[in-house]
Structure 1
Amino acid sequence: MIARLTRIAKQLAPALLALALLQAAPAAAEPVTVTDLAGRTITLPGSAKRIVLAQGRQLNALGLIHADPASLLAGWGADQKRQNPDAYARYAAKFPAIAAIPTVGYGATPESFSFERTVSLAPDLVILSLSLAGTRHGPSDLVERFEAAGIPVAVLDFYLQPLRDTVPSLRMLGKLIGRETQAEAYVRFYEERRELIASRVRGADRPSVFMHAHAGGFDCCQSPGKGTFDDFIALAGGRNIAIDMIPGATGQISLEQLLASDPAVYVATGGLHLAKSGGLVLGLGISQEEAARSFAKQVARPGISALAAVRNGRAHGLWHLFNDTPLHIVAIEALAKWIHPERFGDLDPQATLNEISARFSAIPLEGALWVDGAAKPKP
């Protein structure tokens, strides 16, 4: 009997060993297929692990759905460090390896991007914005060149048409990096906040709003036209006065035009990039006192100080870099409170920002990202 059992065990041993090895082996990666904003179908053999972010600022979106977004980067655009130094500093403090990630360009135009450098990094995915894909600054052949080189490329965007493109871009990004659950959680949060605002402004009058972009850093007055911040103003229940004066996404109107329009609400935008020029300083790590002082300087400038919005306490400041991140839902909440204070007395944009910081963001989101006319600088 014992001999028979021994023979059976010997016969079964190879099969049992094969079964054990099969169970121990990692599951084969499932192909990933998405449709990007250009209507193209992209299929990867598995989740992307070596990404080139052609525009570095899209790290701010990646960091909402991945706890260590820097670990995915084979290369990125230098614009994050140059244009968004406050966020870059926080990423660098938490993820020191970010300083060694190769750069592949420095701006949002095809001419500022290095195709050859990107190919040399052997990424498994390149992510282009709509601007780099050629829909804003003229024709671009970057998509075709990457396809010819056998490198998958996806087009997503959070800037040009944010209310149209943010949700599909987040879902696409989540699927490409194997973070669908995390992306969907942020999408649900985002859409709930967005619908709350939309529901409360239905049927409301639309006060006139002027958004003074990069306030204090340039001659008066740069402003958003179609898309970008105009989308935020519209959702918040306002009417952007520059929409009929500026044909593109951004442009400039004269101080005389601004004074003649005399908007009901004035919103200046600023950031750390304006500190040296004496402009409006807002951003991660900026104190409320510093923000209030720089804001007071802006609204005291000749011409600006004559606006009824300033005299009536309806002048405000907003972080300019809300314009290229899904964090913009916080900016829309702030705008809604300023444009329709009678409808949004209970809305708390700071609580929304705190929740995003705690639940989603790879870095802490602390600092003065907005200031309103009631803010007074400390002596």
Structure 2
Amino acid sequence: MKKRAQICIAAGLLLVIACFCLVSFFCLNTEPPENKTAEEKIVITDALGRVVTLERPAQRIACTHYSVSEAVQLAGAWDKVVARDGYLSNEKFYPGVDKLPIICPARNPLDINYEEVVKIHPDVLILPNFSWLGDPDEITGKLEPDVPVVFVDTLNPETFCNTIDILGKIAGTEKEAGEYIDFYRSIYCPVTNITSNIPGENRPNVFFKAFSDEIDDIKTYGSEFPGGNEFFNAAGVRNIAEDLPINCADVDKEWLIGQDIDAIAAICWDKKYPDTFGYNVSDPSFARTRAEEIRTQIGGLDVFLNSKAVENNEIYLLNNEMTSTPRYIITIAYMAKWFHPDLFEDLDPKALHQEYLDRFIPGDYNLTNCGLMIYPE
């Protein structure tokens, strides 16, 4: 009897212990099994201040505008892109781009083909924060919650690291995004540490000639151009149109003639000059000869003839992608070197440009053997 009692007591103790452990599991494990994926959820605040939540890192990304596409690539996530902008065409720069469906025309990244997006059903649609080209509320209203929409700033050098960080979180490529952020800061911080201390009177007055179909069309960037003044300030220059209430528009030629222009930076569209600008140009010698002709044409325009820029041959050419994509960080380095050579004796913009291509762009490009992106180098 005594032995049987001992067995009953032991069994009872085991039962109590088992019940205690079971209760402890449910009480102490405050996260229910069905919420285990909560740690994987991605919560970000986009450029419009909208809080967007993804259930998990995106494996299927749709995006528009080439600045967003390049930013996605810099964040290490181009292989996740399943739909793209109609502007992209460089298979070498964007492997597989020709096979990706187009969801917007080349000239308007917010003119979304909603039917195509719904058919593709990406995990997220990433768009540039270009509200003057479309209504963000209309876009989100037609797609969310089925397709989350994220707007990002791609043209503001002061906030670009945050953009890359957001893209890395969206795609689950934080390591790759962090590597680019380190590279970006290695250029931006040393340059702006110096240029931020350059007084206004020591900053050259630069006219930025926006690209146009005809060389005598005079367009420029004003105060409403996204990231524009931040870009100019970082390079240590003054945009003479910084106070004009325009994005990118024609300027009054009489007004321009009356301006004090120390230098001209002309944006050249590679599709207008296919034999001169772009990484895929095969004859760099001819490209440089053609670039000199373009400089001469610009300097001969009536609005510039009497300027110090023409008198001192301070005319520079920029491929449009060097200002309208994340490569503007390289342009900032070039401009700092052009306009403040004494302050940046050790800065080598061409080497930084080559490193950008070697480390973050799939194509095998050698700046010595291709067309122009910046001139003169």
TM-score (norm 2): 0.78
Residue 75 (structure 2) aligns with: 65
The answer to whether structure 1 residue 144 and structure 2 residue 138 are counterparts is: no
In structure 2, give the amino acid aligned to 1:370: I
Once the two structures are TM-superposed, the CA of residue 218 in structure 1 deviates from its matched residue by 4.6
**1:253 pairs with 251, 254, 257, which one?**
251
* Paired positions, count: 326
Aligned-partner Cα distance in 1 for 2:109–2:75: 27
Aligned-partner Cα distance in 1 for 2:342–2:245: 32
8 A contact 2:67–2:326 mirrored in 1: no
Residue 9 (structure 1) aligns with: none
The answer to whether structure 1 residue 355 and structure 2 residue 363 are counterparts is: no
Superposed CA RMSD in Å reads: 2.5
1:246-289 per-residue CA deviation (whole Å, 9 max, x = no partner) reads: 3122112244433321411111111311127x9xx422233543
Residue 11 (structure 2) aligns with: none
8 A contact 2:222–2:242 mirrored in 1: yes
Residue 338 (structure 1) aligns with: 338
Counterparts of 1:270-281 in structure 2, within 5 Å, are 270-275=268-273, 281=276
Once the two structures are TM-superposed, the CA of residue 197 in structure 1 deviates from its matched residue by 1.1
* Shift in alpha-carbon separation, 1:196–1:336, aligned structure 2, 3 A: same
Once the two structures are TM-superposed, the CA of residue 216 in structure 1 deviates from its matched residue by 6.7
* Shift in alpha-carbon separation, 1:108–1:38, aligned structure 2, 3 A: farther
Aligned-partner Cα distance in 2 for 1:196–1:167: 15
In structure 2, give the amino acid aligned to 1:285: N
1:267-325 per-residue CA deviation (whole Å, 9 max, x = no partner) reads: 1111311127x9xx422233543442233222322324543212313211112112332
Residue 91 (structure 1) aligns with: 93
**2:263 pairs with 235, 257, 265, which one?**
265
**2:170 pairs with 165, 176, 182, which one?**
176
Aligned-partner Cα distance in 2 for 1:360–1:284: 15
SS of corresponding position for 2:147 = coil
8 A contact 1:291–1:371 mirrored in 2: no
Once the two structures are TM-superposed, the CA of residue 111 in structure 1 deviates from its matched residue by 6.6
Residue 84 (structure 1) aligns with: none
The answer to whether structure 1 residue 210 and structure 2 residue 212 are counterparts is: no
Residue 24 (structure 1) aligns with: none
Aligned-partner Cα distance in 2 for 1:361–1:217: 31
The answer to whether structure 1 residue 38 and structure 2 residue 48 are counterparts is: yes
Aligned-partner Cα distance in 2 for 1:327–1:77: 18
The answer to whether structure 1 residue 321 and structure 2 residue 312 are counterparts is: no
Once the two structures are TM-superposed, the CA of residue 55 in structure 1 deviates from its matched residue by 2.6
1:166-215 per-residue CA deviation (whole Å, 9 max, x = no partner) reads: 12111100111111111112112212311111122213421101111116
Residue 11 (structure 1) aligns with: none
* Shift in alpha-carbon separation, 1:330–1:111, aligned structure 2, 3 A: closer
- Which consecutive residues of structure 1, in runs of 5 or more, have no partner in the other structure? 1-26, 82-87
TM-score (norm 1): 0.78
Residue 13 (structure 1) aligns with: none
* Shift in alpha-carbon separation, 1:211–1:56, aligned structure 2, 3 A: closer
1:213-239 per-residue CA deviation (whole Å, 9 max, x = no partner) reads: 116735331111124444322211111
The answer to whether structure 1 residue 166 and structure 2 residue 163 are counterparts is: no
8 A contact 1:104–1:114 mirrored in 2: yes
Aligned-partner Cα distance in 2 for 1:275–1:325: 18
8 A contact 1:52–1:74 mirrored in 2: yes
In structure 1, give the amino acid aligned to 2:292: A
* Shift in alpha-carbon separation, 1:114–1:91, aligned structure 2, 3 A: same
Which protein has the larger Cα radius of gyration, Structure 1 or Structure 2? 2
Aligned-partner Cα distance in 2 for 1:328–1:224: 15
8 A contact 1:48–1:176 mirrored in 2: yes
Aligned-partner Cα distance in 2 for 1:295–1:305: 19
Aligned-partner Cα distance in 2 for 1:221–1:51: 38
Once the two structures are TM-superposed, the CA of residue 56 in structure 1 deviates from its matched residue by 4.5
* Shift in alpha-carbon separation, 1:361–1:234, aligned structure 2, 3 A: same
The answer to whether structure 1 residue 221 and structure 2 residue 229 are counterparts is: no
